[in-house]
Amino acid sequence: MAIRNLRYEGDEILKKKSREVEVIDDKLQILIDDMIETMHKYNGVGLAAVQVGILKRLIVIDIYDDNGPIVLINPVILKTKGEQEVDEGCLSFPNEFAKVIRPEEVVAEYIDREGKKMRVKAKELLAQAICHEVDHLNGEVFIDKIIPGTLEYIEPDKDK
């Protein structure tokens, strides 16, 4: 396992649409493990493959709820319900936070790392994370969706 280099604001790759994953092989499993390790190193809730420079429809999410990280290959949001105003940040936009409107609930279909077709009904933080990461796969970043006037830059704590 290895920590991957993150791509940051201004990197053209973040605006590109990711391609479907065709094969779940050892190389993809290594990428998945590296993405989980990278997400945890930077205390992220989610990470899309594009954020480590790979244009594949692959995301990892961990809402730190004892269920461990989930891996979504070729995720598709089938349904959304309600809306919630949420504070959001992104590992590709360090120390930047803003308010975004996201669905309260989503139903998504995806393939897990074993190749099984799965469906998840997600609420609150998990729904938010799925929407945020699927946006990345479509070349969209949260900065494009913020409620005007809510963007804040938080100075990093120099003692940490």
| Residue 39 in this model has a pLDDT that exceeds 70 | yes
pTM of the model: 0.95
Predicted confidence at residue 1, as pLDDT, reads 80
Euclidean distance between CA atoms 59 and 53, whole angstroms:
13
- Count structural domains, the chain: 1
Helix-then-strand count for the chain, H and E: 2, 8
pLDDT, one tens digit per residue, over 71-95 is: 999 999 999 999 999 999 999 999 9
Give residue 24's domain range. Answer: 12-153
Give catalytic status of residue 37 as yes or no. Answer: no
Instruction: Determine the 3-state secondary structure of 149 from DSSP.
Output: coil
116 within domain boundaries? yes
Catalytic residue among 20, 37, 133, 155: 133
Please state, for a pLDDT cut of 70, what percent of the chain lies above it: 98
Q: Give me the CATH number covering residue 116.
A: 3.90.45.10
Is residue 7 situated within a structural domain? no
